[in-house]
Structure 1
Amino acid sequence: MTVEVVLPRLYERDIDVLLQEELIFNEVVCDVFSSALGFDATLEISECSLSVVDGTGETDLLARFIVDGKSGVLLIENKIDAAFQPTQPERYRARATELAGTGQEAYCVLIAPAKYTEGNSAAAHFDARVSYEDVAQAINSQSTERAKHRAALLLRAVQQSKSSYIVIPAREVTTMWQRIYEIARTEFPLLQMKPPTDKGRNSWWVIFKGNLPSRITIDWKVKNGFLDLSFWNGARHRPTLSSRKPPGASLVTSGTTTMFRVSVQKPSKDWVELTDEQIRSTLEIAQQLLNFYNAHKYECDLHEQR
């Protein structure tokens, strides 16, 4: 009987586990890595660990191998579609160099969909690049139903990457977010802003969650000069035209979202050049919106979540 399998959305952790098993048990997959590294013989994996962390960061897979009677270590970074973290490739290289200093062979390897490495200069820091497509082909060559399924998982991740948004980090935008975060963390901790990751050029919507319940957020739309207390579809509390409004706010509806909107100082044409005082004054209003909600939430209509 043929069983229809619906393939899920995959995350890098899922692929890490699949790769660990294939490296340990599948000689054909090991041959793909050997070829990428320029080895004449197929390497044999003696140990493979997931998520190995040291003072320089995390290695997705750390595999110890033997080839031609010599032992060594592979430091493998796995990417589906996420951008590299700051200096991440350089830190892989530094870890490999440190291990090589102990007399071991050490190589860093990037595994990702083929299109990920196209034009990606950071990939040059790795000794070898292995594509999901090549590994899927190697797994599928075994011609078992299990192998076909595991190959399909990798190809599902390739397809997923084609429809994903890959952030191209913009240093000036990331720096601006970091400035906002530092002021929020030290002066407005109740906003509970999360530490920012790398940001692309179009990352101009800052979200504060504070102690707000599900489906309610405070949203700073920097380029538009708006600060919204947003009640998204499904929010337990939702204001109406008769509800008390925060000082200086208007009630706005967009689709299924209702917002208390306050206009804040709109940035200049280059919106990343906000001054600390502009950031601080906007965060003060964000704090006021949070305080308003906590003081007046029961004056809003109560909608049961479904």
Structure 2
Amino acid sequence: MGESDLIFKFQSDNGVVEALLIENKIDADAQPEQGERYQLRGHKGKEQGYWEDFRTCILAPLAYLERNIEPYDYEIAYEDIIGYLKSKNSTRSNYRANVLTSAVEKQRRGYVSCVSIAMTEYARKYLEYVSEYHPELRPEKSKPRAEGHTWINFSPFGVEKKMPIVHQIYGDAVKIMFLAQAERYEELSLIFNDFNAHPLVVRQSGKSVIVEVKVPSIDPIIETFEASFPAVQEAIKVALDLYTYCVEKRI
């Protein structure tokens, strides 16, 4: 499950020992299912008696958070912390604000050097195809990508519903992620029990519920979009079937 960048353990006012598991994302791309692994580490710590409750948090520049769909309980932008520190208007807080500002600027300048031309081009063609032929999936906008940034994101229900559909290319899966809706696990399990278009799994991941369908493997670094098009079409069909089912069931 890996390690957390930072764990802040404390006792709340009601005497409960709690933990905040923090992912500090300043100069690297998200790893597959990283947010889910943070949730698993939180539950493991709870089972082992290290804390009684926990929350997960990602700390990153705003530009990163805008494209993040990993399930964390909280998101905090570096820019918000910088603004808070500057509002204190003290020598120490201004120094800390300047350090964080330098880190954000360095991240912005350095990002270009780790862009993968192959991954960027593959995603561009994928998203353009969906935009033209299946606009109802509302694909994300194309942008420069690092080699490991292989998630293709759709928001057919709107961002506010926190129900993105994702093709996790390296995960060989298409998923609907019901973010911060863990209390709906039983309800969603019953609803998707009638879904017969593809075999699927409904599981709870921390504070979220994941509905997952396996799809054919693709290697976007080695394969061209055209060569892997049949596998792409199958993944898109799964996304469309999941979307249609949710609309019909009024989820």
8 Å contact from structure 1 (residues 237, 297) kept in 2? no
1:215 positional shift: 1.8
Q: Which one is further off, 218-227 or 271-280?
A: 271-280
Task: Single out whichever of 210-219 and 176-185 deviates more from structure 2.
Answer: 210-219
Q: Note the C-alpha offset of 1:272.
A: 4.7
1:155 maps to: 99
Structure 2 CA distance for aligned equivalents of residues 217 and 285 of structure 1: 14
- Mapped pair 1:209 → 2:155: yes
Could you list the per-position Cα deviations for residues 222-261 of structure 1 after superposition, in whole angstroms to 9, with x for gaps in the alignment? 0121011121223796544322343213233252232221
Whose helix fraction is larger, Structure 1's or Structure 2's? 2
Query: 1:278 and 2:231 equivalent?
Result: yes
Distance 1:209 1:81 in 2: 19
Matched ranges for 1:131-210 at <5 A: 153-160=97-104, 166=111, 168-210=114-156
The alpha-carbon deviation at position 264 of structure 1 amounts to 1.1
CA distance in 1, matches of 2:164, 2:233: 19
**Correspondence 1:230 to 2:177:** yes
Query: Could you say what the CA RMSD is over the residues aligned between the two structures, in angstroms?
Result: 3.5
* Alpha carbons of structure 1 residues 292 and 81: separation in structure 2 relative to 1, 3 Å: closer
Q: Distance in 2 between matches of 1:149 and 1:244?
A: 51
- In structure 2, stretches of 5+ residues that fail to align are 1-60, 65-88
After superposition, the Cα gap between the structure-2 partners of 1:284 and 1:197, relative to the gap in structure 1 and judged at 3 Å, is: same
Picking from 174, 192, 202, the partner of 1:244 is 192
- Change in Cα spacing, 1:268 to 1:81, as seen in structure 2 (3 Å) is closer
Task: Supply the distance in 1 between the matched residues of 2:107 and 2:219 (Cα, whole angstroms).
Answer: 33
Change (3 A) 1:287 1:81: closer
**Larger RCO: 1 or 2 (CA < 8 Å, sep 6+):** 2
Pairing of 1:51-70 with structure 2 (within 5 A): none
Structure 1 distance, partners of 2:135, 2:169, is 20
- The structure with the largest alpha-carbon Rg is 1
Distance 2:231 2:192 in 1: 27
Match of 1:242, SS state, is helix
Amino acid across the alignment from 1:181: L
Of all paired residues, the percent bearing the same amino acid is: 11
Q: Which stretch has the larger CA shift, 212-221 or 170-179?
A: 212-221
Query: Which structure 1 segments of 5+ residues have no match?
Result: 1-79, 84-144, 299-306
Contact preservation (8 Å) 1:205, 1:220: yes
Q: How many residues align?
A: 158
Cα offset, 1:81, TM superposition = 11
Indicate the residue corresponding to 2:165 in structure 1. 218
Q: Alpha-carbon deviations, 1:91-130, whole Å to 9, x = none? A: xxxxxxxxxxxxxxxxxxxxxxxxxxxxxxxxxxxxxxxx
CA distance 1:82–1:193, change in 2 (3 Å): closer
1:182–1:148 CA distance, 2 compared to 1 (3 A): same
1:262 positional shift: 1.3
For residues 149 and 270 of structure 1, the distance between their equivalents in structure 2, rounded to whole angstroms, comes to 44
